[in-house]
Chains A and B, each alone.
Chain A
Amino acid sequence: MSGSALAIRRARRLPPMPPAIVVIAWLAIAVLLLFALVPDWLAPHSPIALDILHRLQPPGLAHPFGTDEAGRDIFSRVIYGTRYSLGLAIVIVFSAALFGVAYGAISGMAGRRLDNLMMRVVDVFFGFPVLVLALAVAAALGRGLSSVALALGVIWWPGFARLVRGEVQRIRERPHVEAARALGVRGVALMRRHIIPFVVQEVNVRVTTDIGYALVAITALSFLGLGAQSPTPEWGLLIRDSRSYFGDAWWYLVFPGLMVMLTTAAFSITGDWLARDRHLGRGG
């Protein structure tokens, strides 16, 4: 009796297990990262090898996700596509976060006039429909994933800048920052040691959920023909290519779309979980 009670008490002292759905989301992200890093170990077929005799085959043992109009294996194309779609989403969000955090931190620490000016610039980006601007920028730079990356990076950083600036202004009023100031800590050192560590968690949450949104934006622009070009197996381009065939070949539309949705869901579930956790470490 008392032994089991003790065991329960011990178990309670351990940090709580995340709910099952969060664990599933992590597993999904792990698998996706594997897809992106070592697709050639996992994909059963080449993503670009043509096989006209087996075009538009429904899902079966040989081709779990079916084949496309040129007989290419959709399962393999989806696996190889992870590198382009998810990989690019991660690159975009990380670079936007890097720039946005620096911008927001400077603005948050600056005097009123500079802060006002810097935030006005950020406000401009919230003044128009962002996808439209990304579309115009990507169209101007020419088709290709690099133009999409640049266009989305340009519209993505202001969100981070606004978030970080607000947090920095909140934290710089705290007693420990005042104490550090009184001891003569200034500038970059003050920022790095006493302010940024408290902003990091907020930024982590935002980065995680934004990866999903960036993925949707990339696939949307590729769907419009601005991003990846054939035969790159990027997910949005797969959906675009399926337009002429999906009436008779549902698998061509369904599986690339499911990949986009599952990936977005996995990142947004993880982000929500991080956000809930965040409140524990907020005392500071």
Chain B
Amino acid sequence: MLGLLARRGAWSLLILFVVATLTFFLSRVVPADPAAFLAGQNASPEAVARIRAEYGLDRPLLSQYVAYMGGLLHGDFGRSIRTNRPVAEDLRAFLPATLELLIFSFALYLLASWFLAILAVRWRGGWVDGTIRVFTMLGSGIPVFWLGMALQFVFFYRLGWLPIGGRFPIRAIPPPPVTGFLLIDTLLGGNLHAFGQALAALLLPAAAIVINLLAVGTRMSRAALITEYARPYVRTARGKGAGPGRILYRHVLRNAIAPVLAATSIQFGYMISWVILVEVIFDWPGIGLYAYQSFEVFDYAPVVALAIVSTLVFLVISLGLDLLYPWLDPRMREATS
């Protein structure tokens, strides 16, 4: 167990190092000169040079790199030219929104894919099974950004049921921040109306993300359920008089979840990518939208920070899923120790 943890930890550090190095050297070949941009159109060469020195852009590449990596170790991502604040501070302000959308979508994804898989297996080979397969496949064929806009068209422009974007109504007073997650903060404040508003804002972005991934998720869960149902212990349980509900929830589901979970981290990688797209579409004030708006004005440090932070989130989650696996399935404990 500890060996696995150490190996995976070292591997994660290596990947972070590669991403940081790659993005750093790429960011220094940007054709547009950020210092010239910041100084404005009519700036004198002296003003541009002063800004270049201020941001350390005039030093040799290697010393910039060393300083940059040293800063990263202390959680310093440099300064954003657009907001004129340390990127780390900006990230702290925007990350909770991203994490809330990510976690909400992931929960929705797990619930929906297992629910559909259970339905499909219950009526295996029948029209329910077929319908679920066709519709999830159609969903996965729709590009996420287009689906997001189509949902906006139907549920905002036509039906007017859900907000077009944002995390909370502009004129409403948000709850006092405790966790940074609006769903939790509104509940802590005991404000059910605000909770409803926060939930309504989450629905469309999360749906756009989840619908794209449901086909793979449902297929994996369905296959795992079918494999488990074919095992002898199910027949034994049936012979001992256990009802279908008991067999499903106490026996089959428990055994089926673990192997699917291991494959879920790949899905999670896509989910992070889709969150960034969806934030742009729905004006969701997370790190994706922050990096996008910075990039629009050639401010590159936030884009690099986005790449590093989302890689970190991905690594932590896949490590967590790998550790969850032996915890859920005792048979795996011996294999990994």
Residues B141 and A135 in contact, CB atoms below 8 Å apart: no
Residues A135 and B269 in contact, CB atoms below 8 Å apart: no
Residues A129 and B270 in contact, CB atoms below 8 Å apart: yes
B145 at the interface (CB under 8 A from A): yes
> Contacting chain B: which of A28-36, A96-104, A246-254, A276-284?
A246-254
Given contacts A131-B273, A132-B306, A247-B153, are A239 and B300 in contact (CB under 8 A)? no
B54 at the interface (CB under 8 A from A): no
Question: How many interface contacts (CB-CB < 8 Å) are there between A and B?
Answer: 117
B23 at the interface (CB under 8 A from A): yes
One of A129, A220, A224, A268 near B143 (C-beta < 8 A): A220
How long is the Cα–Cα vector from A260 to B150 in the complex, in angstroms? 14
A257 at the interface (CB under 8 A from B): yes
How long is the Cα–Cα vector from A131 to B270 in the complex, in angstroms? 8
Residues B276 and A131 in contact, CB atoms below 8 Å apart: yes
Which residue on A lies nearest to B14, using beta carbons?
A: A124
A261 at the interface (CB under 8 A from B): yes
A21 at the interface (CB under 8 A from B): no
How long is the Cα–Cα vector from A264 to B141 in the complex, in angstroms? 7
How long is the Cα–Cα vector from A224 to B303 in the complex, in angstroms? 13
One of B26, B273, B314 near A140 (C-beta < 8 A): B26
* Shortest CB distance B27–A (Å): 5
> Contacting chain A: which of B29-37, B170-178, B222-230, B233-241?
B29-37
B residues 1-28 near A (Cβ < 8 Å) are 11-12, 14-15, 18-19, 22-23, 26-27
Which residue on B lies nearest to A225, using beta carbons?
A: B296
A70 at the interface (CB under 8 A from B): no
B144 at the interface (CB under 8 A from A): yes
Residues B29 and A220 in contact, CB atoms below 8 Å apart: no
How long is the Cα–Cα vector from A247 to B157 in the complex, in angstroms? 6
The secondary structure that dominates the B interface is helix
How long is the Cα–Cα vector from A132 to B19 in the complex, in angstroms? 10
A130 at the interface (CB under 8 A from B): yes
Which residue on B lies nearest to A137, using beta carbons?
A: B26
Residues A127 and B15 in contact, CB atoms below 8 Å apart: yes
Map CB proximity to A onto B273-306 as digits: 1 under 8 Å, 0 otherwise: 1001100110000000000100110001001101
Which residue on A lies nearest to B274, using beta carbons?
A: A131
Residues B306 and A141 in contact, CB atoms below 8 Å apart: no
Among A127, A142, A268, the one with the most B-chain Cβ atoms within 10 Å of its Cβ is A127
Given contacts A129-B272, A223-B277, A224-B277, are A139 and B310 in contact (CB under 8 A)? no
Residues A139 and B295 in contact, CB atoms below 8 Å apart: yes
Residues A128 and B144 in contact, CB atoms below 8 Å apart: no
Residues A142 and B277 in contact, CB atoms below 8 Å apart: no
Residues of B within 8 A of A140 (CB): 23, 26-27, 29-30, 300, 303
A177 at the interface (CB under 8 A from B): no
Residues B280 and A260 in contact, CB atoms below 8 Å apart: no
How long is the Cα–Cα vector from A236 to B22 in the complex, in angstroms? 27
B142 at the interface (CB under 8 A from A): yes
A275 at the interface (CB under 8 A from B): no
Q: What are the nearest 6 A-B pairs in CB distance? A: A131-B273, A140-B26, A127-B15, A128-B311, A257-B146, A136-B307
> Residues of A at under 8 Å CB distance from B?
124, 127-133, 135-137, 139-142, 216, 219-220, 223-226, 239, 242-243, 246-247, 250, 253-254, 257, 260-261, 264-265, 268
